[in-house]
A and B are shown apart, each in its own frame.
Chain A
Amino acid sequence: MTEAYTKPVPTLDDLNRPFWDGCRKGELRLQKCCSCGHVRYPIAAYCPECLSEEAEWTPLSGCGTVFSTIVFHQVYHPAFKNDVPYNVSLIQLDEGPRMFSNVVGVPPGSVKVGERVEVLFDAVTDELTLPRFRLAARP
């Protein structure tokens, strides 16, 4: 049996549940404004462009580019003490939004700004699947 998962988890509510349900199903999806078409992140009740409340969840390609990338050596949260050094990257998704995640599968300090990445889904508990990224296969 696995140990209890003690890292931060999303505070689930009606607003963000479709995102996390999507991750469990292997789909990266974000809100697209029904009024102006803006695809937004972070998940929000209002479109930050036009303030419309109407949005639909749209599936994304899961492809993006490393916008910036850093490596944690300091342990800021005790649950990450066995993970350091680990990578955190700001991912520029092809559909426009940017999100924080981890680029995994390569040494954490080897990730470069501008590299192409693709999403993978990491089921960290039965209930929670995290979107992370790996270097994209060359076309």
Chain B
Amino acid sequence: MALASEIRSLRNRVAIVGVGASPQGTVPGSTSLSLAVTAFKRALDDAGLKKHDIDGLLTMPGTTSPERSDNYLRLGETLGIDAKFTGSMTMGGSTAGALIQQAALAIDSGMATTVACVMGDAAKSGNFRFAMAGGWSDSWGIWGMFSAAANSAISASRHMALYGTTSRQLGEVAVACRRHASLNPDAVMRKPITIEDHQKSRLVVEPFRLLDCCLISDGGACIIVTSAERAKDLKQKPVMLTGFGQACSGRTLEREDWWYVPHQKEALERAYAMAGLGPRDVDLAQLYDNFTISVILWLEHAGFCKIGEGGSFVENGRIQLGGELPVNTAGGNLSESYMEGWLHIVEGVRQMRGECGPRQVPGARVCLVTGRGMKLNTANALLLTAA
């Protein structure tokens, strides 16, 4: 396995040295561009870097970015950066982690020194509804099959039928995320909820209720990556990229286990192998939660429990702060803000620096961060460690 050993050589060679987020939620007068710029400036300040230190620019076009895949040009022009290494990527909720991995490869190969990964999206103010249907020429919408929620509802329905997972167990994920958001002054939804609140919330796409679904938010985020060597001289305690991996099910309906998002497990296995770590080494996790079921699947894929046991795993506060495996300590997509997973990485970095105040996991050294996107197609995992 030559490839695996080569990737293993990247372990701890690249670090995250700056993170920034714009105000989140409903940000009046904002645009995808203004939110991205705000996040970029905050990440630069966080890193103690100047704009001219950035020679790589990787971006995710927001759903409301009119320039779409030309987003890297729009941002390069706006920020006044002539990057040696640049581009945009659209992998939905897997984009943030994928861009950081791309940055790591570029930095390690010498194509760039310091890469800013940036996104901004005024999805809330722009009333973007994530109602897209799959299916190309024969749109699933012909049969009324629309939205990101529906794809994950298909997952949840089958998981419930095969393994007895319940709506109340889905609710445990929502309750945990909300409790964590209540400790995060930057979170959009901070009022604690109960399982009963979850059970009383309106049906969206059964089995999902409103509180199974992530928010829709305005916001931006930026993550700055550089070599471990250079990171030593910078302002912040660096957070090491110890392991990472990606996987994709290009096939959708053609793959019988598509509903179970099997590539998530592949991405995690690659990240564990690169890092030389396993689930027992992980102190906390930021698991991509576009819908509550996603967290349950991640827990199974990441080896914290067996297949089909994710529903019972999330009970009894096990994924809450103080529990066995705190998950989504800033509130996640469900309660902090829906930044398509970018803030999961930001939170992972802050936890590894130990700067999270009342929501800090004491003594945490290893944080798993995951992302998933499109129509249950893309996935990635990062293993972040404290330097």
Contact = CB atoms under 8 A, between A and B. Distances in A.
Given A113-B157, A113-B158, A86 B144 contact: yes
A59 interface: no
Given A42-B135, A70-B206, A112-B161, A100 B149 contact: no
A68 B157 contact: yes
A96 B27 CA distance: 48
Contacts of B204: 73-74
Given A40-B254, A98-B256, A112-B161, A72 B150 contact: yes
B323 interface: no
Contact of A69 (B131, B144, B157, B162): B157
B224 to A, nearest CB: 37
A68 B146 contact: no
Contacts of B202: 73
Contacts of A109: 206
Interface residues of B, number: 37
20 contacts: A7-B141, A8-B142, A10-B137, A12-B137, A16-B138, A19-B138, A42-B253, A42-B254, A67-B158, A70-B157, A71-B206, A72-B144, A73-B203, A73-B205, A77-B144, A85-B203, A88-B145, A90-B259, A100-B145, A113-B157
Contact of A7 (B142, B155, B256): B142
B102 interface: no
B153 interface: yes
Given A42-B135, A67-B259, A97 B157 contact: no
Contacts of A130: 142-143
Interface string A53-93: 00000000000000111111110110010010110101000
A28 B158 CA distance: 25
Contacts of B138: 10-11, 16, 19, 42-43
A114 B207 CA distance: 17
Nearest to A77: B146
Contact of B143 (A67, A71, A88): A88
A48 B254 contact: yes
B205 A10 contact: no
Contacts of A9: 142
A76 B137 contact: no
B129 A76 contact: yes
B364 interface: no
What is the size category of the interface that chain A forms with chain B? 35 or more
A102 interface: yes
B251 interface: yes
B189 interface: no
B266 to A, nearest CB: 19
A73 B142 contact: no
Most A-side CB within 10 Å, residue of B141, B147, B251? B141
B154 interface: yes
A13 interface: yes
Given A8-B141, A19-B138, 7 more contacts: A43-B137, A68-B157, A70-B154, A70-B207, A77-B144, A113-B157, A113-B162
A85 B136 CA distance: 25
A71 B205 contact: yes
B139 interface: yes
B144 A99 contact: no
Interface in B107-163: 129, 131, 133, 135-147, 149-150, 153-155, 157-158, 161-162
Contacts of B141: 7-8, 77
A76 B253 contact: no
B150 A70 contact: yes
Contact of B205 (A15, A72, A113): A72
B144 A7 contact: yes
A100 B254 contact: no
Nearest to A88: B145
A128 B177 CA distance: 45
B251 A74 contact: no
Contacts of A77: 131, 141, 144, 146
Contacts of B129: 76
